[in-house]
Structures are given as C-alpha cells and as structure tokens.
Amino acid sequence: MSRPFDLAFVRSQFPAFAEPSLEGWAFFENAGGSYACRQTIDRLTNFYTRTKVQPYAGSGYPASTQGGDEMDAAHARLAGLLNVTANELVIGPSTSQNTYVLANAFGENWAEGDEIVVTDQDHEANSGVWRRLADRGIVVREWHVDADTGQLDPAVLAGLLNARTRLVAFPHCSNIVAHVNPVAEITALVRAAGAVSVVDGVSHAPHGLSDIEALGADIYLFSTYKTFGPHQGVMVVRDRVAGQLANQSHWFNDYSRHKRLVPAGPDHAQVAACNGVVDYVEALHDHHFDAPETALVEKGRRVETLVRDREIELVTPLLDYLRDRDDVRIMGPSDPTIRVPTVAVVPSRPPSEVAKDLVEHRVMADAGDFYAVRLLEAMGQPADIGALRMSFVHYTSPDEVARLIEGLEATL
C-alpha cells in the first residue's frame, strides 16, 4: 500500500530547509547539485568523528575495521539499489574524472580504425574524453540531435553502427533538453552491434536511481552530489565489459575492481557517506510504503515512481506558463511526462540578466552553457549567451514553483 507524497516529511530530511540563512530562498539550481539529506551529513560527521583513520588496516583495530565496513556497505547497498553487484560499482571523485579514466582504460586496448559514437546532446564530461581518442587513431562518429527539439533519434544511431564500433556514449537525459532517452532501446541496439554502451545518468539520477539491469547499460555513471549525497561519482561497470578496461591505478591495485579505475584513490569518508543516499531512499520508501523488508531494488523502483509522479505535477504549471509565452523558447519537450524537471529556456532578454533579476525574487537559478556547449550550438543557440535553467526535484514545493513563475512574469 502506498501513502500520498508527504512534502513535510521530505523537507524534514534536509537541514537546508531549516537553515535560517536559506529561509525564504527558492532553490532552482538542483541540476548543478542538490541539497544534502541529513543522512549524508550524519554519515560524514560520524566518519570524521569516529573512524577517520586508515581503513582496512591488516592489524584490525576497531576504528579501522568499522570505517572499512562502512565503505564496503556503501558499495553493497548502492549496488543493491541499482540491481548490480557490489563488485560492479566503482566510486570515484566525480563523473568527469570517471569518464576520463574510462576513456584511457578503453583506449589502451583499441586499435587504429576502431570506431566510437558520441552525441552532441551530452554534457562535455561524456563527450570530450571520448573525442580525444581521435588522436590515437580512433574514428569518432557523431550522433546528432534534432536541431529543433534537441532530441536523439535511435534510428539515426542504427545507421552509425558497424563491425568496428567499440563504444557508444550517450546521456540518460541531457542537463538542458531533459528529454528522457529510451535507454533500454538504445543499449539493445548497441549490444546487437557488439559495442559497449556508456550512459551518463547524472541528469536523471536526482529523479530516480534506476535499475541498471533493466536499462541494459554496460556502464552507467552518476554524481552523488546531485542525489542528496556527498561529492562523489558512481560508475557501474558491468562484469561483461570489465575485462576490456586496462588498469589505471598503481600496478599492484590491478586485482581490485574498486581500485583499478580510481587512480585518485578513494575519499574514505565520502565513500562511506554514500550510504546516506541509500538511507534516504529507504526513509522515503518506508514512510510512503508498507513492507520495510522489501529488497532495495524494489524500494528504489517504488521511490522512483513516487518522485516521478510528484515531479510531473510540480513541473506542469511551469511548462504551461512557458508554453503560453511567445517570447520564450523551451529547450526541450513541453510534455512533462517525457522529461525531467530541468527546464532550460531562451528568453528574449539575455538569460544571465533574467537569472540576476530572479535573485531579487529570492529565486536561486542561473544561466550559461552548463558544459553542454555542443548541444546549445547544435540547437542554434550561441553558447556564450546560453540558456536560463530552472531545475528542481521532489523536495521543491508548489509554492516555490508559483514564486518562480511570478518572478519570471516580472522579469521576462
């Protein structure tokens, strides 16, 4: 049985909503990084207070063992939520760093003339590192968006795949266009071509941590600082492709899946604090649904649906308002059911000025290219002018959305 979405409960999980210096401010830059839930903050404080020693010490002193156990638990629980094994889940410093490492790890094993496919819908993190492989003789093929809608068409990808294709990198959804790509359909195409799929889930993850098995992604990435957690990057590397990646860490770390793709070394406290993300999903689940003993993956699915339905309700008035204005271009679909609530627009006034004016209305939003320069240009929007982006998540209140609309009405 499920209970209606409880906003008061949700907001009580985020200390930022009780913070006097933030009172009265409506936060619409969640795609840049979300507020942290109290579970994350507690986990971090706890680690720094009680177990800030070298984890996994061979001598087995208690603080060390406990710290290591917490890091292991973070891997295992996140993996459970995502329906993969703990061995397949790697936690690195950020998604940009993770893709950089991945590109080098794959590149070492490819031959001149091998091919990859990249899009112009991606954030640069899942684009530039792959394109750079052209310097090593890799052929880079472009899967272009539609210039009007900014959307990717899987039929176009089908025409780009061939026997030399090694990898296809694409986003679960773009951080500007926000249309949710048909990931399972795309990964099936990629698999049939004998290539590896690398899905940037950073923009989607704040709206639901997905069942990676169901998505069929070989590699799936997201950043926990956008999913109410610490500043880390999670990278799922499925067993079936792990052998294609060359070790990027110290030679003696080659044995460990958690170490060989994290040359930076783990940030122990933050890895442990990733438990907070799972704690929060569990808290949301257990508050809204019966059966607290449910498997994590099922909890994740239910929470994803709960959050998604709520976000559709929240974003609808904003999209309706924007659609009715003839001086605003919505950079993405205006149908709330096929997108996440990251709404980028090009107004007739410079986006950066509108963003500044919104601050007068105590609205925190921003304008720019959001590291998706190629996408803006493909859609005919000069990247130096950029777009105004308003992004929210399930903890945003209807009143805050109303305030945003009032602010837009006054400033546009």
Ligand X SMILES: Cc1ncc(COP(=O)(O)O)c(C=O)c1O
Spell out the residues 6+ positions from residue 294 whose beta carbon is closer than 8 angstroms to its own: 285, 302
Q: In the range 61-120, which residues lie near ligand X by CB under 6 A?
A: 94-96
DSSP annotation of 144: P
Return the range that interacts with ligand X (CB under 6 A); candidates 7-15, 195-203, 243-251, 254-262.
Answer: 195-203
- Contact, 74 vs 274, CB < 8 A? yes
If one asks whether residue 381 binds ligand X (CB under 6 A), the answer comes out as no
Among residues 43, 75, 77, 123, the one that binds ligand X under rule CB under 6 A: 123
Q: Which of 203, 275, 391, 396 binds ligand X (CB under 6 A)?
A: 203
Can residue 181 be called a binding residue for ligand X (CB under 6 A)?
no
Q: Look at residues 405, 400, 406 and name the one whose alpha carbon lies nearest to residue 27.
A: 400
Question: Residues 6 or more apart from 273 whose CB is under 8 A from it?
Answer: 40, 43, 44, 47, 74, 229, 230
In whole angstroms, the minimum distance from the beta carbon of 379 to ligand X comes to 16
Q: Cβ of residue 397: shortest distance to ligand X, in angstroms?
A: 24
| Residue with Cβ nearer ligand X (51 or 94) | 94
Of residues 98 and 411, the one with the C-beta less far from ligand X:
98
- 175 near ligand X, judged by CB under 6 A: yes
User: C-beta of 391: minimal distance to ligand X in Å?
Assistant: 10
User: In this complex, which beta carbon is closest to ligand X, that of residue 33 or of residue 317?
Assistant: 33
Among 216, 233, 332, 336, which residue sits at the site for ligand X (rule: CB under 6 A)?
233
342 in contact with ligand X (CB under 6 A): no
Phi, psi of 74, rounded to the nearest 5 degrees: -60, -45
Tell me how far apart the alpha carbons of residues 105 and 326 are, in angstroms, rounded to a whole number: 48
Min separation Cβ 99 and ligand X, Å = 8
φ/ψ of 300, rounded to 5, equals -60, -40
Per rule CB under 6 A, is residue 202 in the interface with ligand X? yes
Question: For 309-321, b where at least 16 C-beta lie within 10 A, e where not — what string?
Answer: ebbbebbbebbeb
Q: 134-144 burial by CB neighbour count: b if 16+ within 10 A, else e?
A: eeeebbebebe
Out of 37, 74, 117, 125, name the contact with ligand X by CB under 6 A. 125
210 makes contact with ligand X (CB under 6 A): no
Beta bridge partners of 3: none
Shortest Å, Cβ 149 to ligand X: 18
Inter-CA distances, 275 with 53, 74, 131, 196, 354, Å: 18, 5, 34, 29, 38
Which residues are bridge partners to 27 per DSSP? 364
Minimum Å gap between C-beta 230 and ligand X is 11
> Per rule CB under 6 A, is residue 168 in the interface with ligand X?
no
Binding site for ligand X (CB under 6 A): 94-96, 123, 125-126, 171, 175, 200, 202-203, 223, 233
